[in-house]
Amino acid sequence: MSLNNQESFSPPTFADQKRKTVEVAEFTEDGRYKRKVRSFVLRTGRLSEFQKNAMNQNWHYYGLEHQNQPFDFKKIYGNDNPVVLEIGFGMGYSLVEMALNNPDKNYLGIEVHTPGVGACIAYALEKEVKNLRVICHDATEILRDCIADESLGGLQLFFPDPWHKKKHHKRRIVQPRFIQTICQKLYAGAFVHFATDWENYAQQMLDVLQQEPCLQNTSNTNDYIPRPDFRPLTKFEQRGKKLGHGVWDLYFLKTTE
């Protein structure tokens, strides 16, 4: 057998296994498949060798696994700094930049697509970022099982899947129940920061956020804020701006009530 053939049959690495097990099938007691309405489509794109190596060699430091008890953030990060959670960080470049620019905060990113997780870890290594951890799992299950109430200093959700067809709007992550869960996980004074380039989704986000009594809009016009300098401009957003696409930022604070 040639070397190339031997390589093609090499055992799967940790990153390969993670790529296949992000979404776990669930079944009812009588054995029927339980279909979930999820806010994402699991696109198991090709995991490059660069991304794979970043995950395999550095998961022990940057990676966190789903567990059935809350994370001990002080133990994980080694300090009491505020923890900011970002859901759906894509390739992770803006998340790493925020962690680099804000060493007084700890960042926790959730992403279900393994190429993005690998790219994020690789960029964090390049920038020598220490105040960042990543999770490759369904965010709703992480929030339910792993995040203690009143333990987060902020929640970021930038350019989530808009599910632009009306019949698919139920798949959008920003729904009243999701916001209620987020509010339970934030302590008083913590922030919620959303951004989207779909005006229809921006309006839905605004409506849902304004319905939550524990949140207060920071916008002077009670709707959207100008793009803040502290949110890094992504390549995706830069491309959209050149095409004339709008972007809407929403920034709310959890009140003490």
Residues carrying an active site annotation? 161
User: Any known ligand binding at 197?
Assistant: yes
Chain-centroid distance of CA 218 in Å reads 22
What 3-state class would DSSP assign to 98? helix
Q: Is 235 annotated as a binding residue?
A: yes
Q: Is 145 annotated as a binding residue?
A: no
Was 165 annotated as part of a binding site? yes
Q: Which of 86, 17, 26, 25 is nearest to 47 (CA)?
A: 17
51 sits in the region (left: phi over 0; alpha: psi -120 to 50; else beta) called alpha
Nearest by Cα to 114 from 63, 150, 165: 63
- Please list the residues that pair with 27 across neighbouring strands: 33
111 is in an annotated binding site: yes
Is residue 97 marked as binding?
no
Is 161 annotated as ligand-binding? yes
Residue 212 labeled ligand binder: no
Binding residues for substrate: 165, 197, 234-237
Binding residues for S-adenosyl-L-methionine: 86, 111, 138, 161
Binding residues: 86, 111, 138, 161, 165, 197, 234-237
